[in-house]
Structure 1
């Protein structure tokens, strides 16, 4: 199987599960008897635990040959953990399994992204074309699982997770040609501490933490909030799907539209879209404005993620790429959203949808942080 086909299937299967988990897991937890406050705690702790899982797993991946075995082990372990939710649903069990799930399952994506970054250099992979299948699958999960939840109950949320992880486990055994290889230098991956010392990495992590972290309330509570405003699961699925459809267009035409943009330019565009989006969602649940806000997902997430990929695969290509991918996944996509999600869980009972305005405030410092290039040393050279 070619790298492009394998990664397209990987992103498709992973993001079908993630398109089930992200918008609907709070509804499954509610169906299992968890209160809103406990759900916020579970989701927040889970996202924070991703930091440990991502750092632990990615720090063990020191060469490209480690990537496929790591993905295989993580997929099988994730399948076992989510299967355990069928028979173990006490408060303690939900806490333990949620922590385990986030520790293991969330590490699949930085490993897959690290493989994609390797193939960008190795075979000139069109990242946007491979990654867009993940977005397509995410929309499919939003729509299909939303309808199944409406008609047959929240247990279908768990069924969707288990089925997609079972297929992902099977894919992990499919051979790839050519296999991921190290660059010609043959140098092993730099340690996390060495990567952190690279010019621009600290500021890159702070910028992406604020931008990705600002999605915390949307990821954790948008389904509950919109449901309380009278929208059913199917409509919520359509709204989530619309956001990801806009994201797909950005990934599909990335090289044509944005290929000449710098990492800083993409991240700044992501900040502007995020600020507008959270201000809108905090102000109204009118259908017209919800649609507009969801279209802005193309920027708030799409531009931000592409800016991160541009920085990691371009300005940090080589022995620093694996460590940078681990730090981006752990800090920007794990720790920062986790902390903001726990804060959101505390504020939501009193602030309701106005919690989105807290997310808007979180992205404001990015404008100042991006007044200069991320990597000043490289810019001067």
Structure 2
């Protein structure tokens, strides 16, 4: 009697999400702070951040194309996890800007595609259970929030330098477990489907552009929300609670993903997420009270939670069987890569002119525009059919 391998594969990919986002929970809040403690200027820190963002746009597309073209997703995934870990090790030996710039460039080449490859593997492992994707992905969010909450105390006990060792340890675990992911090949009927060129169809382009706008609208939140609260007079404890509340809401909705997508279509979930995002940013533009701000953070369950899940499932549906890795890579590159990068740039420029309030009004309009365009195309497409 053969044993069903799916539970083991689910455990492996859940572990991958847990470790990946745990490492991200160390990197995002503290790597720039580490660079600041090394004496880097604001410009130098910005250059390193921009280089990482550029890598997130370019290299998932290159690796994704190679993986689908030669059906070598698993070998590339393992290669990228091990080489990115090896390159990260070099940060322990250099503290000057130019060597760190070179390390960052090479690290980005191999780190950038990991998450889009993991999303594609997850879709294949889940098969007919794709609607339960959120339950797998929730482990990443749980890890992120736990790390963010406890890491500050660890840094207080030691120093911010400890993040290099912690990220290295997490990266080593990610690489070690990566060998256990399944090597799933497209089925014969999927190989007969149109290739990567189908990702240039109008419905795919419309969706990707709208998703791009959604992440542009998030630029103000990810870059300036904490600053906005500080300018309103809130302290670091409240700011931490606000971020933790958003992550908790995100986890709860992910756990219920199968029920959500059994009841509502992906298109309706996406459109609703756009509308809620517009409302959320408008609330932050208008409100200053503690209760209203905290209530708006609960909407993160929709603006990130349901939108992210629906986007992963939607691009998986649109991408042909032999181009699913590239499909996830394109989605990730245009949204969390280019979308956030442009969002950070625009909001940084506008913030210097108008302050933080205007950023959220602008974000609300961008999210609303994305939602209206997406829904208009869906309605027109239904009429054509």
Fold-level match, TM-score > 0.5?
Answer: yes
Residues 56 and 371 (structure 1), Cα distance of their counterparts in 2 relative to 1, 3 Å cut: same
Q: CA deviation at 1:254?
A: 1.1
Worse-matched range after superposition: 131-140 or 314-323:
314-323
Which of 340, 364, 370 aligns to 1:366? It is 370
**What is the rounded CA distance, in whole Å, between the counterparts of 1:104 and 1:188 in structure 2?**
31
Are the aligned partners of 1:54 and 1:107 in contact in 2 as well (CA < 8 Å)?
yes
Task: Name the structure where helix makes up a greater proportion of residues.
Answer: 2
Residue 28 of structure 2: which of 22, 26, 43 is its match? 22
Q: Secondary structure at the match of 2:142?
A: helix
Q: How far apart are the structure 1 equivalents of 2:274 and 2:201? A: 24
What residue is the counterpart of 2:184 in the other structure? 180
Distance of 2:112 and 2:225 partners within structure 1: 20
CA contact (8 A) 1:190 1:323 kept: no
* Residues 1:356 and 1:17: Cα distance change in structure 2 (over 3 Å): farther
In 1, Cα distance between the equivalents of 2:194 and 2:28? 32
Matches of 2:224 and 2:25 in 1, distance apart?
Answer: 14
Distance in 1 between residues matched to 2:86 and 2:224, nearest whole Å:
27
Instruction: Tell me: CA distance 1:133–1:63, structure 2 relative to 1, closer, same or farther (3 Å).
Output: farther
* Cα distance in 2 for residues equivalent to 1:221 and 1:85: 28
Q: State the partner residue of 1:335.
A: 338
If the length of structure 2 is used for normalisation, what is the TM-score? 0.85
Select 2:347's aligned residue among 319, 344, 348.
344
Contact persistence 1:116–1:125 (CA under 8 A) = no
Q: Which residue of 2 aligns with 1:325?
A: 328
1:89 is displaced (CA, Å) by 3.1
Give the number of aligned pairs.
377
Q: What's 1:244 paired with?
A: 247
Q: 2:296 aligns with which of 276, 284, 293?
A: 293
Distance 2:37 2:285 in 1: 26
Structure 2 residue runs without a partner (length 5+):
none
Helix, strand or coil: the match of 2:92? coil
| Contact 1:20–1:142 (CA under 8 A) maintained in structure 2 | yes
Match of 1:262 in 2: 265
- The structure number with the bigger radius of gyration is 2
Counterparts of 1:41 and 1:217, CA distance in 2: 19
User: Cα distance 1:188–1:85, how it changes in 2: closer, same or farther (>3 A)?
Assistant: farther
**In the alignment, which residue of structure 2 is the partner of 1:47?**
53
Of 207, 212, 216 in structure 1, the residue corresponding to residue 210 of structure 2 is 207
Matched with 2:103 is 97
CA deviations on 1:248-298 (whole Å, 9 max, x unpaired) are 111111111332322321222221222233334455665434422321211
Query: Which one is further off, 76-85 or 34-43?
Result: 34-43
Give the Cα separation in 2 of the matches to 1:61 and 1:377.
32
Sort the Cα spacing of 1:119 and 1:188 in 2 relative to 1 into closer, same or farther, 3 A.
Answer: farther
Does the 8 Å CA contact 1:51/1:331 hold for their aligned counterparts? yes
TM-score, length of structure 1 as denominator length = 0.86
CA RMSD of aligned residues (A): 3.0
Residue in structure 2 matched with residue 73 of structure 1 by the alignment: 79
1:121 is matched with 127
Encode CA deviations 1:78-127: one digit per residue, 9 max, x unaligned.
Answer: 21233322332333344333343333322100000011122233776831
- From 217, 220, 230, the counterpart of 1:217: 220
